[in-house]
Each structure stands twice: as structure tokens, then as C-alpha cells.
Amino acid sequence: MEQLLVFDVDGTLTGPRRVMHEDFARFFRTVCVSRRVFLVSGSDMAKLAQQLPEFVLEAVAGVFACAGNEFLVAGQAVYRMEHFFPGELTGFVDEFIAASPYPVRCGHHQELRTGTLNVSVVGRNADPVQRAAYFEYDREHGERQALIEAVMDRFPGYEANRGGQISVDISPRGWNKARVCQELSQRFAGAQLVFFGDNIEKGGNDQPLAEAIVAAGEHNRVHPVADHYETWQILQEEYGSAPIPVSATG
Ligand SMILES: [Mg+2]
């Protein structure tokens, strides 16, 4: 049975919004040579290219960007799901951000991606320290969960999930990472799907895909990981002894 490996990026292959560890990237490429590997990210390709070396992006079989609303093979779009987000929704989000008691605003609070509106109270311009501070605040106060519930309550045609460390992804209902499971199940009927994600718990942006993968076949597997070091460790244990093909060295 063919095995397809599917990886979230932020927090699973890299630190949050960080560049992939060089040694891990080299090892990861060898994994990509021996089987089909797909990446799934809330980010767009421009951001992914900042985090992952080109040789990794070239080695994978495909990339699902913008929470699966864009699918690229060898850099070419296979599909792209566009959506127009109404001003009523973006205005509602603006009001939520303005009303938040969190004291820090770093700018760039709403980002439109293919099929997804990415929203952050602290703002996407936050540096790693500001991100970590907001992440802690959110863990204590559940602000992102409150935003998720407020959006889904007010706009039933939309769904929202926690994305990464500081943001919430809003999409038309059903437009989430779970699409990746449908796509791969259709393209590679009968293959085993193995998914690695750091945000698989309730409300996390990996949860819809993890659930879909488990439901799609009992031979499928999901690895919830704490960070990229755990992913690295699991891959080393499972695939580390595989001989490194000549084409993957150097
Ligand atoms: Mg993640």
C-alpha cells in the first residue's frame, strides 16, 4: 500500500514563523525521495518560501497553501478557491480587534489569502517575543476561541479555526484543511495517509484534517506533535535507517 506523508508546516516542520532547521531540512529531503510528501499550511506560497529551503519545496509532491484552498504541484497551481469576504464580516472583525483588552497592537491585523481571512488581535507584524506574549495571553483568556465563536454565531456561512500562534483563520464553511484529505483520497485511491500536525486539538487549524483523515480509513494515522523536534524524532525513528539515495545527497 502506498503511504503518503502529509505535514503541517508552522510548528510541525519549523518553529512558529521560523526558518526550517538546516539539518532537519536535509534529512527531510531524503524522506521526500522515498515517498510522496505533501505540505499543508495556512500560509501562502510567498510565506512558505521564506520558511522552507527551495530544495524542500522542490522535493515534495505537492503543497496545499492557504489552508488547502490552493494546491500547487511543481510550483504550478492545480486549483485555487477564491472567495470575496463581505465588508460586514471584516467590519465585525475590526470591531472585535478594537474592543479587545489586550494592550499591544503591532499592525497588519487582517490578511486576505486565497479562500481565507487571517485575523490577529496583536497583528501579524508582531515579532517572536510579542507573538509568544500574545500566545500566553490567549491561552489564559481564550480570546481566539471567543472570536471563533462570535464569528460562527454571527455568520453561520463561515467557519473559523485557530491558526498558528496568534491568529484565527476564517473561511466559508467547509473550506478548511479537510479538503486535503478529499483531494489526496481521490488522487491516490487506497493509499495510507499519515498526517503530522501541532494544532490537532479542538479549535486548532489541523483538527478538521486530522478528523477527516481518521474517518477516511482505519489504516490512516495521525501524529499530534508538540513541535518540529518531535516530528524530526518520529521521522528519524521510522525512516532514519532508510538508505539515502545518491540523488538526495550533496
Ligand atoms: Mg501548525
Domains identified in the chain and CATH numbers: 3-81+175-248 (3.40.50.1000), 87-172 (3.30.1240.20)
Mean pLDDT, the chain, whole residue set: 93
User: What is the mean predicted confidence (pLDDT) over 97-111?
Assistant: 97
Percentage of residues of the chain with pLDDT beyond 70 = 96
User: What is the mean predicted confidence (pLDDT) over 122-126?
Assistant: 97
Ligand 1 centroid – CA 44 distance (Å): 14
pLDDT at 247 over 80: no
Ligand 1 centroid – CA 246 distance (Å): 31
pLDDT at res. 195:
97
Ligand 1 centroid – CA 13 distance (Å): 8
Task: Calculate the CA 203 to chain-centre distance.
Answer: 13
pLDDT at res. 197:
96
Sheet of strand 62-65, all strands in order from the earlier edge strand to the far edge: 76-80, 70-73, 62-65, 36-40, 3-8, 192-197, 221-224
Ligand 1 centroid – CA 239 distance (Å): 22
Residues 126, 10, 165, CA angle at the centre, nearest 5°?
40
pLDDT at res. 250:
35
Ligand 1 centroid – CA 203 distance (Å): 12
User: What is the mean predicted confidence (pLDDT) over 134-154?
Assistant: 97
128: helix, coil or strand? helix
Band of pLDDT at residue 91, cut at 50, 70 and 90: very high
Which residue has cell 514563523?
17
Record the pTM.
0.84
Percentage of residues of the chain with pLDDT beyond 90 = 86
pLDDT at res. 241:
60
Ligand 1 centroid – CA 164 distance (Å): 5
Band of pLDDT at residue 202, cut at 50, 70 and 90: confident
pLDDT at res. 240:
77
Ligand 1 centroid – CA 226 distance (Å): 10
Give the span between the Cα atoms of 96 and 79, in whole angstroms.
32
User: What is the mean predicted confidence (pLDDT) over 100-111?
Assistant: 97
Pairing of strands 221-224, 192-197: parallel
Residues, CB-to-ion distance under 5 Å, ligand 1: 8, 10-11, 198-199
Band of pLDDT at residue 71, cut at 50, 70 and 90: very high
Ligand 1 centroid – CA 207 distance (Å): 10
Band of pLDDT at residue 112, cut at 50, 70 and 90: very high
pLDDT at res. 145:
96
Ligand 1 centroid – CA 155 distance (Å): 25
pLDDT at 20 over 50: yes
